[in-house]
Structure formats: C-alpha cells, structure tokens
Amino acid sequence: MPAPHTSGDRLAVERRTIEAVPDSERHGTPRSQFTLWFGANMQITAIVDGALSVVFGADPLWAIPALLLGNVLGGVVMALHSAQGPRLGVPQMISSRAQFGVFGAVLPLLLVILMYLGFAATGSVLAGQALAKMLHLGTAAGILLFGALTAVVAVTGYRLIHVAGRIATVVGALGLGYLMVRLFTQYDVGAHVGTKGFEAATFLLAVGLGAGWQLTFGPYVADYSRYLPRETSTRATFWSTFAGSVIGSQWAMTLGALTAAVAGKAFLPDQVGFLGHLAGPALLAFLIYLVIVVGKLTVNCLNAYGGFMSVLTTVTAFDRRSRIAPAARAAYIVGFIAVSMVIALAASDDFLNNFKNFVLLLLAVFTPWSAINLVDYYLLSRERVDIPALYDPDGRYGRWNAAALSCYLIGIAVQVPFLATKLYTGAITKKLDGADISWIVGLAATSALYWLWARRTANPPAETIHPAAADGGAPEAAPAG
C-alpha cells in the first residue's frame, strides 16, 4: 500500500528524477490532475493565444467554437499521454524510449528542450512585466525575481508544483472571471461579435491554435500523473486531465478572443498593461497582476521541471544512470532557468516575437512524436512495457528503432507543405488561403504509417515488467489491466 503523506511533505524536496516511482511513494487521486492543468491553463499566454485567432482575422463568433474544437481534439491526445503515468510510473520522455530506442529518443528530446526554453523565456517576460508593475520595479528586475520564484518551486518539485496548481485554479477562476465581467460592463461586446461571415481559413487557423496549445503539453504531461497509485483508473486519469486542461484553456482563450475583438490593436503591444487597465482601480489592477504572476508561475514551473527532465533523460541515455543526487538535480533545474532568464533579459521585442514563431514552428515535431507514442502504447503494445529495459541500451528496446525514427522524420516532412507560420508558409497552405492543417496531416499520416510498419516488428512483453523492488528482488511482472 502507498505510504501516507502529511501536509508537511508538500515542502519536502522531491527525491525522484527519471527513475520509476515505487508503489510505496505513490499517492493522490486523479482530481489533482484537474486542478494542476486547470490552473496551468488559466494564464495570460492562453489569453494571448485566443486573441491571436481574432488578430489573424476570425470573428469571435467563429473563433471561439473553433478554439474549443481545437482544444478538445488536442486535449484528447494530451490526456491519453497523461493516462500512461500511473501505469508506468516514469516520466513521459523516458517512456518514449519504448518506441524510439534508448538513444533514438534523444532526437525529439533536443527539440523539446528548445521548446521549453522558448516558452519559459517568453512567459518570464510577461510575468516579469506584471511583477514590475506590482512592485514598481524595472522589467529586468521583475524577470529576475520571477526566475527566483520559479526556481524555488521547481527545485522543491512535484508536490509543491501541485500546490501551486491548486492555488492557480482558485486565483485564476476568480481573476479571469472578474475580467470577463469587466469586459462586458466596460465594452459593448455584442457590437464586435458576428460582424464577419464564416471563413474556412481563419476557422481552421483557430482550431490549430487550440490544438497546438494542447499538443505542447504532451512531452511532459505524464510527469505529473506518474505519482498516482498504479491501480488508478486510466479513465479517471484521462478525464481529469482532459477536463482541467480543456476547460481552463478554453476559458482563457475565450477571454482573449473577446478582448482582442473589442480592444483592437491596443491589446497585443501591452497585454499585461491592458488587463491591468481593464481591471479598474489600482488595487484591483494589483490583484490582476498577481493573478498573472500566479498563473505564469505554475506553467513556468512545468516548463522548468519538464526541461530539466528532458535534459536529464538525454544525458542519462548515454551514461546509463537512472537517478542523480539531489544537489545535481537542483543544479540542472537552476541552470535551465538561468538560461531561460538570459534569453528573456537579452531579447528585444522583435527577437521575442521571432523566437516565439520559431518555437511554434517546432510544434510540427510534436504531432508525429505523439502519434508514434500513442499508437505504440495503446494499439501495438497494449499498455505492456518492459520498464527496466527503458534504461538499458542493450535491452529489449535497443539503442535505435529504425521504424519509429523513420516514421517520425516522414511525419515531419509531410507537414511542410501544410505549414502556416510567419517563418514559413507551405505551398498547399497558400492554395488553402492560409489554413493550417499541418497538425492534422502529421497525426494522421504518422499514425497510419507507424501502425503498418511497426506492427511487424513490435516486441512487447507478455505483461508489464516493473523494476526490482527496493529490497533487491527480481523485476516484478504485472498485467497491464
């Protein structure tokens, strides 16, 4: 039975890194996934993401349901990754070694690390601006202070991150709910909705914004469900994660779409300042800035924690370690945050915009990764994994998996003609008037190709093999259930 945990454990520094979490340390219920992902999505970057759907030309009447469709479709993929956590007890990118091989999994990992750095840097700028307005500091000082707060929570680890998520759930619901009321009382929102007809290109673009938002969580979502007891219902984990992420993001994106419609060009140049002004008197503006900081703190801790896990997964693929000392763990996390702070401080506004566009372009690498991971885990391996072999290049999964790596590269390549970004617009996308369906093409093509190819070579164990018990016993086999 899992050991009981007291409230004081929440402030204890996490001991586990990329190794499997033993049953004796499993705890909690799927409800914790709801509050974590709801709180992580009730934040200003999701508001901006929703606003972009209107800035790019969609009417809120069509943008809001399009964002919902995208969040639902992407949320299904994201929650299917989360459901793997209790079964395996390992970080998400460690489990991907079952598809790509111990060394092969490093290829998508390098791009995942770059994405985390980009989102951490841009998020730090927004939170730093909010702290600067709250405390009458310079923006640079606000960014550094926010980096320090992120380091404290991320180094402490899993439990404190969940506490931050619960706080962000309450604070975000109150803050964004208040802003929605203010928006309708201060502006004639109805006059800005339904002024344009339906356009397929802008509708699909908004769907892509919602789906892309959810897909970026895929590489680390199981990092936060792996501490749940092994017998936790897969269905409960799925729905708790799905509901928290989709409801939270849709709420924030709806606010963003409506705000962009009524504010026009006044919102995007100073998102933080506009929301503070919308809040009203100075005290209420202060509280909204606090809401922004709390929301960004939660998601930036996810980025820092996920980035650290990805870096460690990359390094340990070659030195065969499955755990590191607490001091080294803290050093990895602080180092990752420091790099993101340097990017945030050194970046001009133009650089940040270009860097964010580059990061969004990297989304093309996550859809084929998700397709391969989910097809293999649910359809080919049927939730049966040799967990000790995930740490052994000479084990069942080997160093490289040619089928997965080939399908992965092909999955990226087939999306190129369908991309629609400021950095590159594909030839087919131009013929579709700018509609971005690359992620749909990537998911469908990669899933079909990998299923046809890998079903001939898949070699899952008859039952899931768990690591040896702490007492040094033999590896434990358990049915996938």
3-state secondary structure of 469: coil
Q: Can you give the pLDDT at residue 308?
A: 84
477 or 365, greater pLDDT:
365
pLDDT (0 to 100) of residue 348 = 60
Count Cα atoms within 13 angstroms, Cβ side, for 391: 17
In this structure, of 102-111, 293-302, 423-432, 450-459, the range with the lowest mean pLDDT score is 423-432
- Neighbouring CB atoms inside 10 A of 460's CB total 18
DSSP label at 307? H
SS3 sequence, 323-355?
A: CCCHHHHHHHHHHHHHHHHHHHHHCCHHHHHHH
DSSP state of 465: E
pLDDT band at 473 (very low <50, low <70, confident <90, very high): very low
Burial letters 355-385, b for 16+ CB under 10 A, else e: bbeebbeebbbbbbbbbbbbbbbeebbebbb
| pLDDT, position 425 | 77
d(CA 411, CA 404): 10
Task: With beta carbons less than 8 A apart as the criterion, state whether 117 and 333 touch.
Answer: no
Using DSSP, state whether 110 is helix, strand or coil. Answer: helix
Query: Distance (Å, rounded) from C-alpha 53 to C-alpha 206?
Result: 5
Helix (H) or strand (E) holding 30: none
The strand pairing partners of 476, in sequence order, are 466
Task: Give percent of the chain with pLDDT exceeding 70.
Answer: 91
C-alpha span between 106 and 209 (Å, rounded)? 27
Q: Is residue 350 predicted with pLDDT exceeding 70?
A: no
> 225-267, pLDDT tens digit by residue?
999 999 999 999 999 999 999 999 999 999 999 999 998 877 8
For the stretch 474-481, contacts whose Cβ atoms lie closer than 8 Å and that sit 24 or more positions apart, written own/partner, are 475/388, 478/230, 480/87, 480/382, 480/383, 480/384, 481/87, 481/231, 481/383
Q: What DSSP assignment string belongs to 44-105?
A: HHHHHHHHHHHHTT--HHHHHHHHHHHHHHHHHHHHHHHTHHHHH-S-HHHHTHHHH-TTTT
Mean pLDDT score, 419-447: 82
Q: What is the mean pLDDT of the chain?
A: 86
Each residue's pLDDT tens digit, 42-76: 988 899 889 988 988 889 999 999 999 999 999 99
What are the residues whose beta carbons fall under 8 Å from the beta carbon of 139, sequence distance 6 or more? 125, 128, 129, 132
DSSP 3-state assignment of 475? strand
Question: At 280, which amino acid appears?
Answer: G
For helices 60-82 and 234-263, what crossing angle results, to 10°?
A: 150
Contacting residues for 431 by C-beta, under 8 A, at least 6 apart:
none
pLDDT in tens, 186-234: 999 999 998 888 888 889 889 988 998 999 898 889 988 999 999 999 9
Q: Which pLDDT score is estimated for 346? A: 82
CA nearest to 299, candidates 165, 420, 416: 165
- Count Cα atoms within 13 angstroms, Cβ side, for 180: 16
- At position 187, the amino acid (one-letter code) is Y
